[in-house]
Amino acid sequence: MENFTFYCPTYYVFGKGTEKETGKLIKKQNANKVLIVYGGGSVVRSGLLERIEITLQEEKIPYTKIGGIQPNPTDPKVYEGIDLCRREKINFILAIGGGSVIDTAKAIAAGVPYNGDFWDFFIHKAKVNEALKVGVILTIPAAGSEGSGNSVITKLDGLQKLSLRAPELLRPVFAIMNPELTYTLPAYQTACGIADMMAHIMERYFTNTKEVEIADRLCEGTLMAIIREARIVMNEPTNYDARANLMWCGTIAHNGTCGVGCEEDWASHFMEHEISALYNVTHGAGLSVIFPAWLTWMSEHHTEKIAQFAIRVWNIPEHTDLKSVALKGVKALKEFFISLGLPVTFKQLGIENPDIDLLVTKLHMNKGEKIGSYVQLGKKDTKEIYKLAQK
Ligand code: NZQ
Ligand code: ZN
């Protein structure tokens, strides 16, 4: 196991009706004025936004709102939010929604006290030294942003989708997680969230670090829980316990717990971010296409842990032919994604003729000559993986 530090200060408030505590939780953070950030309208339609506003009014906390954050959020809303916070002397941000809303809130939080362009943080021109506090009310288990220290934003100019990592400053101070709020999710969004949380675990699980039994077992166990609960939720969208288990799996998958002490990979995420930047597809659906392709390629080049994944997570019988065991595991994962209604090829994702040369060029321009760590991938390798995703 490798040395590590792990600072995970988010206060999780989990369960039925917990959003009623929002006003009180914000009061404890000494907020002068709050910016509420939300998405394209689901929280308006469900009445959640209105209920949250009432809890703030009850605590006499002034607030203003910025809505219309789109999936795969872009920079204009971040600039708008930064201006609003400065103008109205806001010192606390409340995100109500999923990864896109939370990531926009985090980017605003980092941008407000900074003199330059917030995008400097994403291109590693500047480091975040200070940020406003962010609280979250989660409405979709998927990106794991409620517990992560990351923000992922697309710059419209050049369609650059990049991530900022500042766990000491950008992890939300609290995350309110009521599984009932996820009942209204369309089946496809639920499925995309499941693919994303599984990917967050797999990015950590496929590591070259040896003797990481605790990380391996946490990853395998959480993956198995997701697979079980996902099958229930797809049939019974209002099954509270299945929704609850899935919601917590999404947080565990990405708040760092599963990966401490391990070298992590993240090549599949980088490859997917290029797809969602260029074609504006849902992140989880992009991953259900790319991850099986990455695993197929890895079964050929670095088989051992893929075979372990097949045996332990998918119950593939042990055999001396490790490659065939590994490929059976990949097939099981693909079939699982298909059973959830997810795409596993570019075509199924709605991209008939992906511009693979452009994806590869942008990927290596943004992320360097080599990406990932389980096997470091150069341009020839990533091109092969994108091509596998066409089959
Ligand atoms: O915008 P509204 O109307 O709210 O609708 C949203 C949106 O259309 C809808 N939705 C959310 N909760 C709902 C609901 N609809 C009905 N009922 C509810 N309860 O779901 C759609 C997707 O929302 P979004 O926030 O985009 O989903 P997700 O949480 O999957 O976030 C995806 C973004 O997060 C990034 C992705 O790249 C993508 O941009 N990621 C962020 C990470 C992080 N910060 O740590 C890590 C991830 O790997 C990921 O890259
Ligand atoms: Zn992800």
Minimum CA distance residue for ligand 1 atom 20: 189
Residues with CB under 5 A from ligand 2 (ion): 196
H-assigned helices in the chain: 22-27, 42-45, 48-58, 75-87, 99-111, 119-122, 167-170, 187-205, 213-235, 240-254, 267-279, 283-301, 304-314, 322-339, 356-367, 379-388
**pLDDT on residue 47:** 97
Interior/surface letters 170-204, b for 16+ CB within 10 angstroms, e for the rest? bbbbbbbbbbbbbebbeeebbbbbbbbbbbbbbbb
Index of the ligand 1 atom closest to the CA of residue 276:
37
Cβ(61)–Cβ(34) under 8 Å?
A: yes
- Alpha carbons within 13 angstroms on the beta-carbon side of residue 311 total 17
* pLDDT of the residue at 225: 98
Ligand nearest to the backbone CA of 46 = 1
Ligand 2 centroid vs 198 CA: distance in angstroms?
9
Q: Tell me: the pLDDT tens digits for 153-172?
A: 999 999 999 999 999 999 99
For 180-211, the pLDDT digits (tens) are 999 999 999 999 999 999 999 999 999 999 99
Nearest residue to 305 via CA among 334, 270, 265: 265
Question: What CATH architecture does domain 187-388 belong to?
Answer: Up-down Bundle (1.20)
Ligand index nearest the alpha carbon of residue 141? 1
Ligand in nearest proximity to the CA of 147: 1
pLDDT score for 247:
98
**Residue (of 380, 120, 372, 142) closest to 276 by Cα position:** 142
Report which ligand 1 atom has the smallest distance to the Cα of 273: 37
Domain ranges of the chain: 11-181, 187-388
Q: Which of 72, 101, 140 to mutate to test the pocket of ligand 1 (most atoms within 8 A of CB)?
A: 140
Contact 32, 60 (CB under 8 A): no
> In which band, very low, low, confident or very high, does the pLDDT at 391 lie, cut at 50, 70 and 90?
confident
pLDDT tens digits, 101-149 = 999 999 999 999 999 999 999 999 999 999 999 999 999 999 999 999 9
Q: If you average pLDDT over residues 364-377, what whole number do you get?
A: 98
Give the tens place of pLDDT for each residue, 264-319: 999 999 999 999 999 999 999 999 999 999 999 999 999 999 999 999 999 999 99
Closest CA to ligand 1's atom 18: 185
375 alpha-carbon distance from chain centroid: 22
Contact 37, 97 (CB under 8 A): yes
CA of 98 to the centre of ligand 1 (A): 4
Contact (Cβ atoms closer than 8 angstroms) between residue 247 and residue 190: no
Query: Residue 309: what pLDDT?
Result: 98
Record the tokens describing residue 259, joined without a space.
């990966």
Domain 11-181 has CATH 3.60.15.10: no
* Residues lining ligand 1, Cβ inside 6 A: 39-43, 71-72, 97-101, 103, 139-140, 142-145, 148, 150-152, 181-182, 184-185, 189, 193, 196, 254, 269, 283-284
Q: What is the pLDDT of residues 225-260, one digit of tens each?
A: 999 999 999 999 999 999 999 999 999 999 999 999
144 Cα: distance to centroid of ligand 2 (angstroms)? 8
Report which DSSP code applies to 377: B
List pLDDT tens digits, range 77-113.
999 999 999 999 999 999 999 999 999 999 999 999 9
| Ligand 1: nearest atom to the Cα of 71 | 26
**Closest ligand relative to 287 C-alpha:** 2
Most informative mutation of 37, 42, 170 for ligand 1 (most atoms within 8 A of CB): 42
96 Cα–ligand 2 center, Å: 19
- Whether the per-residue pLDDT at 213 is higher than 90: the answer is yes
Specify the pLDDT at position 2.
97
Nearest to 37 by CA among 103, 88, 115, 132: 103
Kindly report the protein residue whose alpha carbon is nearest to atom 47 of ligand 1: 143
Residue 182 CA, closest ligand 1 atom number? 19
